[in-house]
Amino acid sequence: MALDKETKEKFIKDFGINPNDTGSVQVQIAMLTENIKKLTEHMKENHKDFSSKRGLLNQVERRKIFLKYLAKNDPKGYTLLIEKLGLKK
């Protein structure tokens, strides 16, 4: 389930360094978090959709790797990001 253009632009504006910043860790984590939320809602209704479940688990793992990288390289940015997104440490 891909994010729509407006949602992506909102995350780039909120978390990006500049308006064309789509590759920074903060933007990628924010986009993954939104996509994980959508897939989680989808999985609540379609619990037998194993391909979506696999994609959800892959995205959770990617976000986990990005969060670990951010915590190691920018601890202040990490704490700000998890507070903004409402994630657990």
Tell me, yes or no, whether 10 lies in a domain: no
What would the pLDDT profile of 2-35 be if each residue is shown by its tens digit?
788 898 899 899 988 888 888 899 999 999 999 9
Query: What is the total count of domains within the chain?
Result: 1
Q: Determine, yes or no, domain membership for 15.
A: no
Q: What is the reported pTM? A: 0.90
| Containing structural domain, residue 68 | 23-85
39 within domain boundaries: yes
- Looking up residue 69, the CATH number of its domain turns out to be 1.10.287.10
Burial code (b: 16+ CB inside 10 Å, e: under 16) for 53-89 equals: eebbeebeeebeebbeebeeeeeeebeebbeebeeee
Confirm whether 67 is domain-assigned.
yes
3 in a domain, yes or no? no
* pLDDT tens, residue by residue, 26-76: 999 999 999 999 999 999 999 999 999 999 999 999 999 999 999 999 999
* Domain contains 81: yes
How far apart, in whole angstroms, are the C-alpha atoms of residue 89 and residue 86?
Answer: 10
